[in-house]
Amino acid sequence: MTHQDSVQQLVMLCHKLQKEGVPPTIAMLRAKAPFTVSVTQAIAAVKAFKGSRQAPEEDSTPVHSQTDQLQDMEKRIVQLEEAVALLEQRLQQLQPTTE
C-alpha cells in the first residue's frame, strides 16, 4: 500500500470517527487503523482531513431575514391579541348578567 493510499484510508477513518463524535487525533488514528500507521502518515491524514472539512457556518440565517422574522412574529402577536379580545367579548355576551 502506498503512502497516499494509506493517507486516504486514514482520512476516511477520520470522517468515521467524527461522525461517532470522536475528534480524530494522531493517536486515535494509530490506535483505530486496521494497519500499522506511522506518525507521519497520521499527521498527513489529520492535516488532509482538517483541510477537507468545510468552514463552520457562522449563521445560516441572514440578518435581514432575522429582521423579517421578527416583524412577522410581531404581526402574529397583534393578530393573536385581537383574536383574544374578540373571544373575550363573545364570552361576555354569552354569560348571563347577574344583576
What is the reported pTM? 0.52
Q: What is the mean pLDDT of residues 47-63?
A: 64
- Closest alpha carbon to 30 in 14, 51, 52, 49: 14
Q: What is the pLDDT of residue 62?
A: 56
- Closest alpha carbon to 17 in 41, 42, 40: 42
Q: What is the mean pLDDT of residues 37-41?
A: 92
Number of Cβ within 10 Å of residue 80's Cβ equals 10
What is the per-residue pLDDT across 78-88, written as a single tens digit (0 to 9) for each?
999 999 999 99
pLDDT at 61 over 60: no
pLDDT at 51 over 80: yes
* 96 against 99, higher pLDDT: 96
pLDDT at 64 over 70: no
Q: What is the pLDDT of residue 58?
A: 44
Q: What is the pLDDT of residue 32?
A: 92
* 46 in Cβ contact with 24 (< 8 Å): yes
Q: Going by C-beta distance under 8 Å and a sequence separation of 6 or more, which residues neighbour residue 45?
A: 6, 7, 10, 11, 13, 14, 29
